[in-house]
Chains A and B, each alone.
Chain A
Amino acid sequence: MNKFRVSGFTLRVLGSGLLLSKHNPKRETRNLNFASRARRAIADERLQGALARAMDHFVHGREIAFAELEDPAALKQHGRAIRAHTLAHLDEYLALLAQSVQRHGGHVHWARDAAEANRIVVELARERGIRLAVKSKSMATEEIYLNHALESAGVRPVETDLGEWIIQLAGETPSHIIGPALHKTRAEVIALFAKATGRPVPPDAPIPDLTRIAREELRQHFLAAGMGISGVNFAVAETGTVVIVTNEGNGRFATGLPPIHVAVMGAEKVVPTWEDLMVLLKLLTRSATGQRISSYVNCITGPRRPNEPDGPDEFHLVILDNGRSDVLGQSRFREALYCIRCGACLNVCPVYRKVGGHAYGSVYPGPIGAVLTPLFQGLDKFPELPHASSLCGACKDACPISIDLPRMLIDLRQIEAEGKPILNFRFWILDFRLLSTSNQRWVERVLFRLYGWALQYPVLYRLGAKVGYWVQRPLVRDGRIPSVPVPPFSGWTQFRDFPQVAAQPFHERWSKLEDGEAA
């Protein structure tokens, strides 16, 4: 009996493992923390090459696109002012947007969270007996795992953006906001396409052949789909127009052909006017892909009118909160909502460049992800993400809206470091707190408390310098300190020599220098 139970348990574990790896190979990395996923990515030479090539390409493109502008700083400032104004009056602009959409015959749905948004889309499909939906690339639907919800309800979602289709076939999540499949090699894509089409694809098939396969395969789905689902890059409040920026034309196909178009937008994506849209659009395409304008900018205002030859019969806009109003209420994090999802901060981030998108363990990677994910999903679930930055500031510089990501990362670190106190008592210089489970950093906390206290006293600082010098002496080998076996210093000496404390620090040398001045 016992044996049976044990083997039954083993079987179940094995079974679920197989199931997971079949449908979502990335799931297995879920159990790892950020540091381990990062280590794995760094060891993956192929990924390192792909990341460096893609990042260099994006960074270079953006630099050229901004260099040709007369006054890029002024444009960025204008964009930021628009976002700040919009978010300060978000309720009014969303109400206006909803009114405008309805005026043009569209329907508006408000979704408080992911579950509600998914339920709305699933219901729309179920009521109409729809079994197949085509999708244009959308981070909002990735955020709520809409595909999963549709599949569970018996609706097959087919991604039609080439990159998104590739990762859907692979059962993965996007690794970059703009280039979701940039971690995939041609060989991997060939294997995925062969499996998806059930036809052999030559191992040396050139890229144009691969895109042709995708077009042929996806065309059938466009024609058969009962529903088109898209994201929203911007929604213009004054006219109720939904704007979708793409380079492949799949966005136009997916939203124009099926009888019903459902657009899912993060509530912060509203812009007041068309003039505002022009400013943000300019910033978006230049920042994202280095283009003056993308190949397609779809501006969709309501469903097909009676006198129009094509377009969907129904248009539905799902406006998603999912944590956004919480962020809006926190003044020090509000500007995280200014983000227009261009991905420029990912491209310049030296950490993202090394670890790639999947290491972040959530839909939004890179510096903006390290801020948004803990805000949307809870810092206790993602305590490591705010530390995934050397605070070099490249993200803030590259951001077309100049979002102060480093400052927000430090603010999140502060919340994470200080935890939520449940019980507080002080003894001497230390104050002890019983902290909520989110806080695992008590050793560090004690060290920083000691450091902050001791270094107020120059005597202790100088004593520390002396002690440091004597403690270090036995570690010196041939004038170097190649290894210190105590954390956190061992982390340092893993990749670099430790510097030697001077026998005579500057503060001891000063009196001699001072004499020099007198002479």
Chain B
Amino acid sequence: MRVALFISCLADLFFPEVGEDVVKILRRVGLQVTFPRNQTCCGQPAFNSGFKRDARRLARHFIQVFEDAETIVTPSGSCATMVRLEYPHLFEDDPAWQARAQAVAARTYEFSEFLVRILKIEDVGARFLGHVTYHDACHANRGLGIREEPRRLLRHVRGLELVEMDRPDWCCGFGGSFSVRLPDISGAMLDEKLRRIKATGVNTVITTDAGCIMHMAGGLRQRGETVQVLHLARVLAHE
């Protein structure tokens, strides 16, 4: 099976090691990975801010780049949500593009969802010593219903113990442009999230979205905390 990787712009620019780890894991389970070189951004920032025409422009680009791929996997729940749920809506008035959007949407998966639901793999042979907690990224959770998949993968990691925080599905406050448009509210939401994380006593938070990682890790660093925030792939790649 050949899988095309959509790295997502945030992971590409800020967390390239996540991409390396995703490739490593997918190869470990016997897949061939390709990386369409012309990929950029899925257009979600523009879409969420109400600039749908600009989002459509990037959606068309994404569709052109990935149209030939048989399966598209991305380590970002929110980008997967954008492609799967929003692309078909974006082209409501354009049947030709809508059909192409639907075809691409139907073959796009978030990384943990792809492993567990499609490949039926829960143990990727990883080892990671320590207690961790899992933060449900909003779009992965409520958009795609991804709750159990990352947890199952984590439970099969040798040496790892999952400690659930109170309300792991509460938003960390990122919300894309929301975080800079209303920084006080976003910051207050982050405060509460970090309090809940601290209450677990763990030193590692796992999640599946670069936006949440940026936000929580940035907040922890500014507060001088030593808790680290890692993408799920980083833990699963650990042997």
- List residues of chain A with CB under 8 Å of any chain B CB: 34-35, 38-39, 42, 350-351, 353-355, 386-394, 396-397, 407, 410, 412-418, 444-445, 448-449, 451-453, 455-458, 461, 465, 468, 480, 482, 487-489, 491-502, 504-507, 509-510, 513-514, 517
Which residues of B (1-37) have their CB < 8 Å from a CB of A?
7, 9, 11-16, 18-20, 23, 27, 32-33, 35, 37
Which residues of B (60-95) have their CB < 8 Å from a CB of A?
60-61, 89
Contact A38 B170 (CB under 8 A): no
Inter-chain contact total with CB atoms closer than 8 Å: 207
Q: Scoring B residues 169 to 207 as 1 if CB is less than 8 Å from chain A, else 0, what string do you get?
A: 111011111111111111111101000000000000000
Interface assignment of B143: CB less than 8 Å from any CB of chain A: yes
A sample of 8 cross-chain residue pairs with beta-carbon separation below 8 angstroms, ordered by A number, consists of A388-B185, A390-B175, A392-B171, A393-B143, A449-B51, A452-B43, A458-B38, A492-B180
Q: What is the CA–CA distance of A514 and B186 in the complex, to the nearest angstrom?
A: 39
Interface SS of A by simple majority: helix
Contact A506 B20 (CB under 8 A): yes
Given the known interface contacts A38-B182, A451-B54, the answer about A390 and B138 at a Cβ–Cβ threshold of 8 Å is yes
Q: What is the CA–CA distance of A60 and B67 in the complex, to the nearest angstrom?
A: 45
- Chain B nearest CB, measured from A516 CB (Å): 8
Residues of chain B within 8 A of A355, CB atoms compared: 185
- List residues of chain B with CB under 8 Å of any chain A CB: 7, 9, 11-16, 18-20, 23, 27, 32-33, 35, 37-41, 43, 45-55, 57-58, 60-61, 89, 138-139, 141-143, 169-171, 173-190, 192, 214-215, 217-219, 221-222
Q: What is the CA–CA distance of A426 and B218 in the complex, to the nearest angstrom?
A: 40
Given the known interface contacts A390-B178, A491-B181, A495-B190, the answer about A502 and B13 at a Cβ–Cβ threshold of 8 Å is yes
Contact B221 A350 (CB under 8 A): no
Given the known interface contacts A461-B40, A492-B179, the answer about A510 and B35 at a Cβ–Cβ threshold of 8 Å is yes
- Chain B nearest CB, measured from A456 CB (Å): 5
Residues of chain A within 8 A of B13, CB atoms compared: 465, 468, 501-502, 505
Contact A496 B189 (CB under 8 A): no
Contact A499 B218 (CB under 8 A): yes
Contact B14 A492 (CB under 8 A): no
Q: What is the CA–CA distance of A405 and B219 in the complex, to the nearest angstrom?
A: 28
Beta-carbon nearest neighbor of A503 in chain B: B16
Contacts A451-B54, A496-B221, A507-B12 aside, 16 further interface pairs with beta carbons under 8 A come to: A42-B185, A350-B171, A350-B192, A354-B192, A390-B138, A391-B138, A396-B142, A417-B50, A417-B51, A468-B13, A480-B221, A489-B180, A491-B180, A492-B180, A497-B217, A510-B35
- Chain A nearest CB, measured from B92 CB (Å): 10
B12, B139, B222: the one contacting A506 at CB < 8 Å is: B12
Contact B214 A499 (CB under 8 A): yes
List the 10 closest A-B pairs by CB distance, nearest first.
Answer: A390-B175, A452-B54, A413-B50, A496-B218, A495-B187, A417-B50, A392-B171, A393-B142, A491-B180, A506-B19
Given the known interface contacts A417-B50, A456-B40, A517-B33, the answer about A498 and B58 at a Cβ–Cβ threshold of 8 Å is no
Residues of chain B within 8 A of A35, CB atoms compared: 182, 184
Residues of chain A within 8 A of B14, CB atoms compared: 499-502
Contact B173 A390 (CB under 8 A): yes
Contact A452 B185 (CB under 8 A): no
- Chain B nearest CB, measured from A189 CB (Å): 26
Beta-carbon nearest neighbor of B41 in chain A: A455
Residues of chain B within 8 A of A412, CB atoms compared: 50
Beta-carbon nearest neighbor of B171 in chain A: A392
Q: What is the CA–CA distance of A517 and B28 in the complex, to the nearest angstrom?
A: 11
Contact B180 A488 (CB under 8 A): yes
B47, B51, B187: the one contacting A494 at CB < 8 Å is: B187
Contact B48 A392 (CB under 8 A): no
Residues of chain A within 8 A of B187, CB atoms compared: 494-496
- Chain B nearest CB, measured from A419 CB (Å): 10
Beta-carbon nearest neighbor of B14 in chain A: A499
Contact B20 A509 (CB under 8 A): yes
Residues of chain A within 8 A of B139, CB atoms compared: 393
Residues of chain A within 8 A of B55, CB atoms compared: 452
Residues of chain A within 8 A of B40, CB atoms compared: 455-458, 461
Beta-carbon nearest neighbor of B216 in chain A: A496
Residues of chain A within 8 A of B12, CB atoms compared: 465, 505-507
Q: What is the CA–CA distance of A355 and B192 in the complex, to the nearest angstrom?
A: 13
Residues of chain B within 8 A of A394, CB atoms compared: 138, 142, 169-171
Q: What is the CA–CA distance of A499 and B229 in the complex, to the nearest angstrom?
A: 12
Beta-carbon nearest neighbor of A348 in chain B: B170
Contact B54 A448 (CB under 8 A): yes
Beta-carbon nearest neighbor of A386 in chain B: B50
- Chain B nearest CB, measured from A471 CB (Å): 13
Contact B54 A507 (CB under 8 A): no
Contact B179 A452 (CB under 8 A): no
Contact A350 B170 (CB under 8 A): yes
Contact B49 A444 (CB under 8 A): yes
Beta-carbon nearest neighbor of B11 in chain A: A506
Contact B46 A495 (CB under 8 A): no
Beta-carbon nearest neighbor of A460 in chain B: B40
